[in-house]
Structure formats: C-alpha cells, structure tokens
Structure 1
C-alpha cells in the first residue's frame, strides 16, 4: 500500500473522528461561553427518583420559573409557570416543537414508531395530520353519542356497585376509546383482551419515560450493551414484540370487518382510508391507531378518580352549589346532556378545577426539545435542550392559583388572567397540544355533571359513623399519576334519580349493541 494511500486513509479517519467530536466540542464551548447567561439551577441533580415532579416543584420554588439542569450531556429546562410555558412552547413553537431523544421509550421499546415521541419532521407531520383529522373539535363531536351512551352505563354501574367505582371509571374510559378507535366496545375492563394488552403496553411505556430514571438516557452508548449484560433492556425488547403483534392483530380485525361491511365509523377506518395517500406502512398505521388508548384511557379515568377524591375531601364546599345549578337547569326527570353543558357554568368549573387540581400528566406530557438557541428574559436556552413543563409546578403555582391544594371551582368563574383559552394547561401547548383534548374534556365534563346530578358523593364513614379522611397527596408513580385507592361514599340522591338512571341505561344498552365485539 502506497504512502499516499495510507495518508489518504488516515486523513479520512481523522475527518470522520472530527465529524463525531466537533459538534460535541462546539456544544460544550457554547455552553461554557454562555454559562453566566444560563437560567439558575442546582449544581447537582437527583437520579433514579420515582416522582421527579415533586423535586421539580422544589426547584421552581427555589430558583424561579425557568430552571437549568445538566442531565448528562443534555441541557434540561424546567418551566414552573403557565406564562413561561406559554411564552416558549406556544408563542415560540417553531423553536420548541421537537422532542428530545427517548432511548428507552422511543427507540428500544417503540422502534421510532410512536408519533407522540417523534422529533419534528416528515414522520411526525404525517402522524399529526392523521390524529388531527380524527380528533379535531368538529370530528370529536361526532363521537359524543358514544360518550353519552357509555356514560349512561357508567351511571348504572355506580348505582349497582359503588365500591368498585375505580373499575367502572376505567371501563368507561377504555370503552369510549376502543369504540371510537376500533369500532368495538368494552363490556368488562378486567377481562377484555384489548384493554389488558394495551394496558400492559402503556404501563411499560410510562415507566420507561420517567426523566432521570434510566442512565441510558444520559449516556446513550449504554444502548448498545448486549441484553445479557443489561437486564433493564430485556423486558423492554420483549414488550416491543408484543406491541407489534397486538397492533397488527387489531388492524387485521378492522380490515376483516371493513371487507365484510360490518365496521362502524371509527378512527381505524379513517386511518385505512388515508394510509395510501400518506405513504404510511401497516406498522405505522397500527401504532397510530394505538395512540388514543395510551393518551386517553388513563388520563380520563384518572381525572374522574381525582374528582371523586375531591368530593371525599371537599364535597360540602362545592357539591351543593353544583346540584342546585343542575336541578334548576336539568330538572329531576332526565340526565344532563351535552346540550346542557353551556348552561351549567359551575358544573363545568368543577371539571376544570379537577383537571387543574390534580393533573394526571404531572410532568406536562412528553417533554419538548429546542431546535435553535434562544434567549428568554435574558436567560440563554441552548439548542437541543430538553424542555419540561411539569403541571405539578404550573398548576400549583400560587401566583396563578392561591391555596393551590384547595379544591375551588370558583377559580374558573372569577375573572382572572391566564394564558390560553382553558384557564388551565392540562392539554399542553403549541403544535404538541393534545389532539384528543376535545374528546377528553367532553368526557370529564359530561360525567361530572351526571354524577353530581344522580348521586350524593362524599367521605366514607367508619363503624362509628365518622368521616374517613383521605390523603390528597397519595398518588401513583410513573409518567402519569392517579390517586391511590381510597374510600368514597356514593349514594343515589333519591328513588326518582334511581328510576331515571335505570331507564336511560336500558335505552343505552339497546343502542350499544351495534358496537359489540
């Protein structure tokens, strides 16, 4: 081999090496140059914590609404106020609409197929177009008959076995999502195979996405360690194969019903009709169809569970006001309907306060990532930063919500300044706002109105007839957080209310036969 050729190879290797390390060196130099301009933050970070949102809240209290963390090689920004989140994620959405790299949840578990975690680009735009067309406000209103029918079933379940209210909430949420997505309802949440498999998949996903939990997120090279030496990879890779099998099987069933002409209008049918024009593979379509379950079941059922928790703790402070409004507007001979909601401002305020008081998406949903350097109020935010807007910090910020742990629906009736249109931030911001927000908010509002109309909900009693106190801070770990089990008293308001619930349930069951599996 000639000296010239050897020199050329050496030069090429050197260039390749420089190509790998130069961006890193440039990034480190830039951080060093702007160190005095970075947002304030702690010198060390905590890792492996089960509830990082509690720590984030402490940081926001100590350092302010914009906090800087250096988590491995990745700059991380923690936002602690609605205004800061709005200014960056909404007003400057062009810079903050991408996603950080999710090695555990996005790559190892999902093979880059989940649009929720996809970086800004062609794949995400196709995914977003599908989700928006399937769940935008006008389209989501076509799902209201299903939500109303399943809600009537929920009222009957609460009437018959109130102690199992958590199971009933999960069945309602799962059945709405599965019916809207695949055209088949869920009659028993504990035995339904679709619910069980999707639940297992979502549990693995949410546990994989907790910031700071896995070292591989800070040190990506760990991804390539063989599974035999990395037990944290084994279950994730097994779950990925289960997910692929599940999504393909569900779409095969949809295709079979479509071919037979027995498939009701549903999101999966819409996906098949749009697949060719968007150039998406069968697996991409399968994962897209699985999005509503992951995004909607736990959030809807968890929010309604938080409502019951609020009733058990604060019920006497707000339930009589809501029931007085319901009796005046709706009367006592029928359940509230979607058409009643515009005339029920206090009941809707109860729903908004539920979403504010104990947000299920405590971390603010999936983190954003910045695609360009930025300066906010004199603070330098580097390109490639992971941006987290934890709702536990934002919704409990005393500046926006005085006495934030108190449940006060009046917050959403009084005049006050808050960025956005909802008065809370439960559905996110900007181009990454939750596409199912209209479906989700409709479920929460309608069911809260009907529960308050039909039942007296409050603290359970002990053997001495005393109220059993509940812990309003006892919530689960994970990417989403819901109340841990708690006792609650749920009793019908009168025999007349029982009669209405039973009558409307019978009518609902007849209409729901079209969606039986």
Structure 2
C-alpha cells in the first residue's frame, strides 16, 4: 500500500482530482452562503439540480415551470440562483399565512444594485429596503390614495373612459393604444394635475415609459454583473450608462414637481393631485424634494402600464368567452338599458360585471411571477423555516391555479366570485396588486379605472376575436404593455353609432 502512494499520478488523474476539489470547494461555498435557522427546521423542498448556477428557469413563461414544481413538491419550494436562496409560494393559504399575516417580516426587498442603487440612486420606493424612509413614503401614498380619497378622481376617470369608447369607434384595431392613452392621461392628472391633452405619444409620457422600460431591462437576471459582484459598484468607470440614466430621471421628475410648485405659487387651481398634496403637506411626511419627485414618478410609472394591461386583459377575456360576456351585457341591459350612459353610481347593481373582472385578472394575472420580498427575520410556516435574509416570491400564476380555493382553476368561471344571493363574495380574493406591506398603494384608483372602462366598453360594444389574426392569450402577462398585439378584437356596436357618439360626447368632462 505504501508503495502505491509513491507511484506517479497521471495528468488525467490530476485533472480529475483538481476538478473534484474545485467542485467540492464550490459546494462548500454555496452551502456556507445558504441562510440558516436557529429552530432546527428545514427550508421548503427543492427540485433537484446539478448546475452550479442553480435552478434553470426559462426566459418566457417561467411561471409555468414554477407551477409544475409547486404541483410536485408542495405549496412552497426552494430554488437557488448562484449562492442566493429563493423561496417561492404557490398556494393561497400559504401566501396568506406568510405574506399577509406575517407581512411585517417580509416588507423588505432583496438588494438590487444595478436597478435600485445605481439607476434609481436609492430613491425608487419599489426597490427600497424597509425602514424609516420607506415607511414615510408609503404613508404619504396611502394617505392620498386610500379609498375615500380615491373617489375624488371618479369624474376624471369617467371623462377619460368615454374618450376610450370614442377612440375605439374611430380606430378599433388599436385598442391597446387607447387603453394606454387612457391610463397615461388619468395617472398624469392624478399624479401631477396635468390638464393638457395627454396620450401615449405625449413626450413626457413617452419619456417616463421609456425609463420604466429601462428598469425592466436592468432587472433581467444577469443583465448587470454588479448584482453578482457588488464591489463593482465602487469602480468609477463601472455603470456609467446607469448613472447617466439616473441623472436624466432625476431631472425629469424634478421638472414635473417644479411645474406643480409654480402652479401653487401662482394660485392656479388645477384640482387635486398627488404632487399638490405632497407640497401642501410636506412637513407631515419629512420627505426631501428629491424623494417627493421620485415618489411621483413611481406613482405615474407603476399606475400607467399596469392599468392599461388590466383593461386589455378584461377585453380579451370578453372576446375569448362570448357566453360569459353575454351574461354581463344582459345584466347591463337590465340595470341600465341603452337609453343612458352608465356611471360609477351603477356599480353596486352590477355584481356580474365585477365578478367578470375579478375572474379575468385571476385567469391571466398581471404579474404571474410576482415581485421579490426579503425576510428580515425567520418566518415559520408549518414544518418549514424561511430564514432571515431569504428572498421570497408569491407566484401569482400558481396561486391562481390553487384548486382548493378556485375549483376548476383552468376554467373561466366568473360565477365563482358570486354567493347564493348573486352578490360578490367577501370570503374570496385574489392578489392582483401584490402582498402585505408591499401591495400597490394605488390599487383603489386602478380598480376604479378598470371598472369604468370595462363598464363603458361592454355597454357600448359586443367584443369578439378576429379569426384571421393570431391569439396569444398569455401575451399581456409581461408586467408591462407588450409591443406586439397578443390579440385582435372586433368591436360591434350595441347602440347606433350616431347615438353612441352623441351620448359619449355629452358625458361629463373633467372637473
């Protein structure tokens, strides 16, 4: 045996041994970087992977891969991306127990250096870590956008929604552009009180939307090496294009804030707006002008695309499911008739329409993969522990397919949202706008926008798919308005065109 040890080792054997040592070292490093729990409980189960880079997720429709893992391994799964541990929640009860009931432990975001620290200079609330500044900014948004305050914008929303109907009459093929125009015009008024005509081609709207497209590109996994090697941030030459974009963003948002400030100083009454509210109450929240400017930009950017996509999702569902559309329109005819234009006042009498909207946004969630949260302390759920410092995602697609909560989850069934009396159920919900303390604060304004557009369009038109055009019924689930056309819709008037135009043109204007 001693003589064997003296034998020369071949070059091939040296390579094999070297590779084994490297793999072992990497394995130890990965193991050492995994979060630890003091409770002796394990992380949720993990699908097998032999890749040193972690689990593979396809670029397109990765939520389908995750849903398959949830079906196989249970309500929670653990995956690895390099040395980062990610827990994904894919069932309704688990997400309520963890992200709603223990929301204080998941209010943080994981570190996003390229997007959160360089591109937005640490000012964007969407990427901001939980803490005093986040709470101050969040409180400011909630104070102005809570349900009662959001009612102030209903006349504005009705006025722009009737413009959407008129735009569809003139150019039905480009209904996506009309939804984008509605969302941009409405949220520009809500945020900045801008009363000049606004559309998707408005230079300021185009610039803000371009900035948010840039954020989307920077957030793609692997887009910037600094997210894996943080010390690159401190090299003066690194990320110059991101730094230039930050300065461009700061100037744009500051310009919008200063315009509102000038209006206040000139005693120009432009009605309510978030920026006006912030400037009049700046001492209540202790925010700097830069923080206020970025908060306004975040409200506009987040509210514009998501609202437009939600409207298009409801319209696509109506075209895809004509029998369900007919039930909604029968309700509209019974409650409203065709002699007057419906308004927000009709909402309590239209549960079938509300159920249709709820089912459409469950059927095709706006953000199927969800957004990353980070635990600030250990979170216990059943026999699992999610240690502090873990990235956690609530996967909207998998949750929406939870058969225990949504029986026949792959079937479009608006009636699932109605109780025995035909009213909306109060014991069933879906998480369209996120979870816990990171839920979108503009959801009340967004819900009203989706409702009034769905109401006016389904009252005015019968929608059907264009059989000559391709359909991608998952095409709106990108988190932003897609550049292509996932579906083509034919709009058949339910009211003679001359009468419809007259009724819409006499609809209330913006106050």
TM-score interval, normalised by the smaller of the two chains = 0.7 to 0.9
SS at match of 1:280: coil
Aligned to 1:425: 431
Task: Go from structure 1 to structure 2 and tell me whether the alpha carbon gap of 1:104 and 1:420 turns closer, same or farther (over 3 Å shift).
Answer: farther
1:68 aligns with 2:69: no
Task: Go from structure 1 to structure 2 and tell me whether the alpha carbon gap of 1:241 and 1:422 turns closer, same or farther (over 3 Å shift).
Answer: farther
SS at match of 2:359: helix
Cα distance, 1:461 vs structure 2: 4.4
**Within-5 A mapping of 1:27-176:** 28=33, 31=36, 37-42=42-47, 43=49, 44-46=54-56, 49-176=59-186
Task: Go from structure 1 to structure 2 and tell me whether the alpha carbon gap of 1:298 and 1:335 turns closer, same or farther (over 3 Å shift).
Answer: same
**Within-5 A mapping of 1:285-296:** 285-296=292-303
Task: Go from structure 1 to structure 2 and tell me whether the alpha carbon gap of 1:351 and 1:498 turns closer, same or farther (over 3 Å shift).
Answer: farther
Task: Go from structure 1 to structure 2 and tell me whether the alpha carbon gap of 1:371 and 1:481 turns closer, same or farther (over 3 Å shift).
Answer: farther
Q: Which moved more, 1:186-195 or 1:385-394?
A: 186-195
Cα distance, 1:492 vs structure 2: 0.9
Aligned to 2:493: 492
The alignment's TM-score, normalised by the length of structure 1, stands at 0.84
Separation in structure 1 between the aligned mates of residue 407 and residue 498 of structure 2, nearest angstrom: 38
Note if contact 2:37-2:385 (Cα within 8 Å) is conserved in structure 1.
no
Q: Which moved more, 1:418-427 or 1:428-437?
A: 418-427
Note if contact 2:319-2:325 (Cα within 8 Å) is conserved in structure 1.
no
Separation in structure 2 between the aligned mates of residue 471 and residue 488 of structure 1, nearest angstrom: 12
Task: Go from structure 1 to structure 2 and tell me whether the alpha carbon gap of 1:447 and 1:250 turns closer, same or farther (over 3 Å shift).
Answer: same
1:268 aligns with 2:278: no
**Within-5 A mapping of 1:442-457:** 442-457=448-463
Separation in structure 1 between the aligned mates of residue 302 and residue 57 of structure 2, nearest angstrom: 26
1:240 aligns with 2:246: yes
**2:340 pairs with one of 334, 338, 357:** 334
Note if contact 1:427-1:437 (Cα within 8 Å) is conserved in structure 2.
yes
Separation in structure 2 between the aligned mates of residue 476 and residue 374 of structure 1, nearest angstrom: 30
**Within-5 A mapping of 1:84-483:** 84-185=94-195, 187-210=197-220, 214-225=224-235, 227=237, 233-262=239-268, 263-314=270-321, 316-364=322-370, 366-414=371-419, 423-462=429-468, 468=469, 470-475=471-476, 477=478, 479-480=479-480
Cα distance, 1:28 vs structure 2: 4.5
Aligned to 1:6: none
Cα distance, 1:222 vs structure 2: 3.9
Following TM superposition, the consecutive aligned residue runs of length 4 or more in structure 1 with deviations greater than 6 angstroms are: 24-27, 32-36
Cα distance, 1:53 vs structure 2: 2.7
Cα distance, 1:201 vs structure 2: 1.1
Task: Go from structure 1 to structure 2 and tell me whether the alpha carbon gap of 1:247 and 1:30 turns closer, same or farther (over 3 Å shift).
Answer: closer
Post-superposition CA distance 1:224-273 (Å, at most 9, x none): 4554xx6xx34433321211110011111111111111232211100111
Note if contact 1:150-1:172 (Cα within 8 Å) is conserved in structure 2.
yes
SS at match of 1:363: coil
Post-superposition CA distance 1:321-380 (Å, at most 9, x none): 11110001011112211110110010111111122111212232x321111112211112
Aligned to 1:503: 503
Separation in structure 1 between the aligned mates of residue 72 and residue 446 of structure 2, nearest angstrom: 34
Cα distance, 1:289 vs structure 2: 0.9
SS at match of 1:142: helix
Post-superposition CA distance 1:413-466 (Å, at most 9, x none): 1579x998662111222222221111111111121121111101111244xxxx
Note if contact 2:319-2:464 (Cα within 8 Å) is conserved in structure 1.
yes
Post-superposition CA distance 1:77-103 (Å, at most 9, x none): 101012111101111122112221121
Separation in structure 1 between the aligned mates of residue 42 and residue 328 of structure 2, nearest angstrom: 50
SS at match of 1:115: coil
Note if contact 2:365-2:477 (Cα within 8 Å) is conserved in structure 1.
no
SS at match of 1:95: helix
Q: CA RMSD in A?
A: 2.8
Cα distance, 1:72 vs structure 2: 3.3
Note if contact 2:366-2:476 (Cα within 8 Å) is conserved in structure 1.
no
SS at match of 1:116: coil
Structure 1 alignment gaps of length 5 or more: 1-23, 463-467
Q: Which moved more, 1:399-408 or 1:139-148?
A: 399-408
Note if contact 2:35-2:388 (Cα within 8 Å) is conserved in structure 1.
no
Task: Go from structure 1 to structure 2 and tell me whether the alpha carbon gap of 1:481 and 1:394 turns closer, same or farther (over 3 Å shift).
Answer: farther
Note if contact 2:140-2:285 (Cα within 8 Å) is conserved in structure 1.
no
Post-superposition CA distance 1:32-67 (Å, at most 9, x none): 988871111133312683544333223222322111
Post-superposition CA distance 1:254-308 (Å, at most 9, x none): 1111111123221110011122332221110100111221221111110111122
Note if contact 1:75-1:385 (Cα within 8 Å) is conserved in structure 2.
yes
SS at match of 2:213: helix
Aligned to 1:465: none
Note if contact 2:373-2:391 (Cα within 8 Å) is conserved in structure 1.
yes
SS at match of 1:401: coil
SS at match of 2:126: helix
